[in-house]
Structure 1
Amino acid sequence: MRGITWRPTPFREFVLKVHSRCNLACDYCYMYELADKSWRAATAVMSDDVLDAACRRIAEHATAHGIPQLRVVLHGGEPMLLGADRLAGVADRLRARVPAPTTVDVLVQTNGVLLTADALEVLSGAGIRVGVSLDGDRVATDRHRRYANGRSSFDAVDAALRRLRDRPAAYAGILSVVDLANDPVATYEALLAYQPPMVDFLLPHANWGSPPPGWGGGADAPYGEWLVAAFDRWYGAPVRETRVRFFEEVLNLVLGGQSHTEVVGLSPVATLVVNVDGSYEQVDTLRSAYPGAVDTGLDVFANDLDEALRHPAVKARQIGVAALSATCRSCALHRVCGGGYYPHRYRPGGGFGNPSVYCADLQRLITHAADRLRADVERLKRPA
C-alpha cells in the first residue's frame, strides 16, 4: 500500500463487546464455531475500568474530529446476559462522556431470548434500540439457532419480536442469515410478519479456504439466485413494506451513490470493535478467516483511537479501489460490489487481496437489480 494517498476517515461506529459468552449455540457463529477460538480464554464481562476507558476514548475521538453523531452497538456473545439494567447504565455512561453537540445512538444486537417485557421496558426507557437475529420461520430458525442442549429458541424470539412490534421506537430491525435450504420468499414474508423497520440479510461468513454451504466452486451463484428471489418479492411489492439494507445499498450504488455499509461499495469503513478486554479489533467477523485476524495490538488503556485509525489493517479497509485485487478492478461492477465483504475475500496463503468467495452471487444480484431499476426508469420516461 506504499505510495497511496490516504486521508483517514474517523470512526463513527463502535461495537462494544460487553459480554463474551452466549446462551445459544448457533452452528454458523463466527465467534464460537469458526476459525478463531480465542473466546475460550476471554474474560466473560467487560469491566467498569474497560468501559470507562472506552467511553473516554470515544468521547476524545468525537471531540477531536467534530463528529456530529456516533453509533454504538452493544454486542457479544450475547449482550443481554449483562442484564437490561447494566446495558442501560452503559448507554448512560456513553452519553454522559460524549460532549454536546455529538449525539450517541445506542443499539443492542441480541438473539432475543432474554428480551422479556421488563427488559424491553428498561432498554426502551434508556433510549436503546434493539436488533434481533432470526432466520425465518420456526423450521428455518431451528435448523441453526438452538440452545446447546438442542432445544429450540424460536418461541422466545418470536415473543420478543412481537413485543418489539408494539414498540416501534425501540425496534431497530432483524438480522437474518441466508440459508439455501430456506425458501427466500417464505423467509422474507416470515420476517415481514413482525413488521420490522429493516431486514438485513447476511451471507454466511465464509471464504476461499472455508467455502459456504452449497457452494459449487464459484462459477454458479446459488446465493445470488436466493437473493434475487427475495429482492423481487421486496422490490415488486405495491408499497414499501420494510427496508432491506442489502438491497437498498445495491440500488443506491447502482445509481452512483455512496455505500453506508461495508458489505458492498467502496466507502471507507469507519467502524471499530472494542473487545471485552479493551483491545481494539477490526470488524469482528474476521474471526471467520483465521485466529488473530481481528487483532491490532492496541487497547483502550494504552492507545487513543487515532492510533487505531492509522493501523495498516484499518487503512486497508479505507482505501477503496486500491485495496481491490486486479481481478476486481477490471470488473465493471467493482464500484458497486466493492470486492465484496472483506472477510469473504480471504484465501489461505493469499490474504484478502482476492474477489469475494461470493463474487458470482454478487454479480447475479447486482446485475438483476440494475436491470429492474433500468427498466422502471425507462418506463417512467415514456410519454403517458
Structure 2
Amino acid sequence: MPRPEADEVADRDAGTSSPVPFGQFIVKVHGRCNLACRYCYLYEGPDRTWRSRPAAAAPAVLARAAERIAEHAAAHRLRHVALVLHGGEPLLAGPDRLGALADRVREEAPAGCTVHTTVQTNATLLTDAGVTELARHGIRIGISLDGGLAAHNTQRVDHAGRPSWPAASRGARLLADHHPDAYAGILTVVDPRTDPLEMYESLLTLRPPALDLLLPHGNWTSPPPGLPDLTDTQAGPGSGRSTPYGDWLCTVFDRWWPAAGRETRIRLFEECIALLLGLPGATELLGLDPLDAVVVETDGSIEQVDSLKSAYDGAAATGLDIFRHTFDDALQHPGVAARQAGAGALADACRACPLLHVCGGGHYAHRYRAESGFTNPSVYCADLERLVRHVAARLAEATAGDPP
C-alpha cells in the first residue's frame, strides 16, 4: 500500500479527512460457540446483546450482506476487500454455508475487486473434508489458541467443562500437515503468567505461517489480569508502573528477531518495525491509521468491532442494519468517526507523547474508563512504551554499521 502524502497524514491526524471506506467486513455467520472459554470477553463480559440475536444468520441476512459489501466496494472503487467469517464459532454453520457466502460475495463484487476470505475458528470442528470444502471456495483458515501445549489451553473448555485441546490440536495439525495452503495462521492472547519462550516455541511446532499476539481486552474500569487497581497517575507515558505484558512481548521479540519472517511472521512486531521506519501500519493495537472494519451481526445489525463489547453493554451498537442502511451510513456514525480521527481522538498525554505515531494511543477498547469514555491513554500505555522502545533499540543496533 502506498504511503499517504504528508498533508494527507496531517489532515487525518487532525480528524479533518473524509471517512475512509470499510475494507474489512466481519460477518457473523453463527452467533454461538461450542466452547465456553472462561475469560471470553464476548460471552462472559458486560455485553449481553448476543442473547437476543438469532443463533445463526438467516439466508436473507447473508444475501443482503453480500449485496451491501458489493455496493460499498463499487461506490468507493475498492480493489480489495477482506471478508472475515466469524462468530461465535463460524464452523457451526457448516463449511458448505460458509463456502456459499464466500462465492456470493465474490460474484456480487464489482469487476476489478478481489475478495480475500478467511474464517476464524477455535479449530475443534476442523475435519479433512471440511477444510477441503473451505479451500475449494477460496477460504483460508485462522485458528485461535492460547498456546501450543495442553497446559496453555486449560481455560478453553466446552460447555460441560471438558478440555478443548485434544480436538483443537488435531485441527491445527491437520492444517499444518495436510492443508498448508489454506492455513492463515494462529491468533493468541498474551498471558504474562506463561513462559513467553515456551509459549512461542510451542506455537512454532504447529507451523503457523503467521502469528497474531493480542493483548487481553481490558480497560481502566475493568483492568486486564496482572494490572489491578490502576490509578490516574498511571494513565500516561512515563508512569513508571510495572510492564508485565511489555516484558513478555519483548522476550518473544528477542527470540523472533534474529530469524524474523523465517520461522513465522508476527504481525504486531512487523507493524511496530514498519511504523518506526515511517511506513503505514495496519493493526488496531498500534499506529494512527483509521480503522476500516465493520461487523454484520446474525440479525443483520451493523456494528462496530466486537472488542468494544469488553467496555460496556451495547458499546458496539450503531442502530443501523443492512436492510435499511448502507455501509456509508455506518461511516457517519460518531463511534466510527472517532476511530478514524487519528490523533484528534486521543488524550492530551498521547498527543504530546514522542511515540505517538508508533503507539497511536493503543487499541481503542483499551482506553475506556467509565467516567470519561475512550479519551484516555491505553490501559497498556506503559507496556506499549516498553515494547516500542525495545524494538526501536534492536532496530537501531541492526542498522548501526558504518555506511558503505
What is the TM-score normalised by the length of structure 2? 0.92
Report how far residue 139 of structure 1 moved.
3.8
Structural RMSD (CA)? 1.5
The answer to whether residue 183 in structure 2 is matched with residue 183 in structure 1 is: no
Matches within 5 A, 1:192-341: 192-216=204-228, 217=230, 218=234, 219-237=241-259, 240-341=262-363
Q: Report the residue type matching 1:250 in the other structure.
A: C
Report how far residue 146 of structure 1 moved.
1.1
Report how far residue 371 of structure 1 moved.
0.3
Number of positions where the alignment pairs a residue of Structure 1 with one of Structure 2? 381
1:152 corresponds to: 163
Report how far residue 149 of structure 1 moved.
1.6
Q: Does the 8 Å CA contact 1:109/1:132 hold for their aligned counterparts?
A: yes
Distance 2:120 2:276 in 1: 29
Matches within 5 A, 1:1-384: 4-165=15-176, 166-216=178-228, 217=230, 218=234, 219-237=241-259, 240-379=262-401, 381=402
Distance 2:133 2:44 in 1: 32
Report how far residue 236 of structure 1 moved.
2.5
Report how far residue 336 of structure 1 moved.
0.5
Distance 1:310 1:6 in 2: 13
Distance 1:4 1:342 in 2: 15
Q: Does the 8 Å CA contact 1:73/1:106 hold for their aligned counterparts?
A: yes
Distance 1:239 1:259 in 2: 17
CA 1:238–1:180 in structure 2 vs 1: closer, same or farther (change >3 Å)? closer
CA 1:360–1:37 in structure 2 vs 1: closer, same or farther (change >3 Å)? same
Report how far residue 273 of structure 1 moved.
0.6
**Which moves more between the two structures, 31-40 or 363-372?**
31-40
- The Cα offsets for residues 275-306 of structure 1, whole Å up to 9 and x where unpaired, read as 11111111111000000100111110111111
SS in 2 for 1:46: coil
**Which moves more between the two structures, 133-142 or 336-345?**
133-142
Distance 2:54 2:111 in 1: 33
Q: Report the residue type matching 1:206 in the other structure.
A: G
Distance 2:347 2:92 in 1: 41
Report how far residue 137 of structure 1 moved.
3.0
SS in 2 for 1:293: coil
Q: Report the residue type matching 1:55 in the other structure.
A: A
Q: Does the 8 Å CA contact 1:28/1:204 hold for their aligned counterparts?
A: no
Distance 2:260 2:183 in 1: 24
- The Cα offsets for residues 6-29 of structure 1, whole Å up to 9 and x where unpaired, read as 211110000001100000011121
Distance 1:156 1:274 in 2: 29
Report how far residue 307 of structure 1 moved.
0.7
- The Cα offsets for residues 141-176 of structure 1, whole Å up to 9 and x where unpaired, read as 333211122211111111111111132221110000
Sequence identity (%): 52
Distance 1:374 1:140 in 2: 37
Q: Does the 8 Å CA contact 1:278/1:300 hold for their aligned counterparts?
A: yes
Report how far residue 108 of structure 1 moved.
0.2
Report how far residue 138 of structure 1 moved.
2.9
Report how far residue 319 of structure 1 moved.
1.2
Distance 2:261 2:355 in 1: 29
Report how far residue 239 of structure 1 moved.
6.8
SS in 1 for 2:259: coil
Distance 1:222 1:140 in 2: 20
Distance 2:307 2:285 in 1: 11
Q: Report the residue type matching 2:210 in the other structure.
A: M
Structure 1 residues not aligned, in runs of 5+: none
CA 1:353–1:253 in structure 2 vs 1: closer, same or farther (change >3 Å)? same
Report how far residue 39 of structure 1 moved.
1.5
SS in 1 for 2:217: coil
Report how far residue 237 of structure 1 moved.
3.0
Distance 1:123 1:291 in 2: 34
SS in 1 for 2:100: helix
Q: Report the residue type matching 1:359 in the other structure.
A: C
Q: Report the residue type matching 1:364 in the other structure.
A: R
Q: Report the residue type matching 2:112 in the other structure.
A: P
Distance 1:63 1:38 in 2: 31
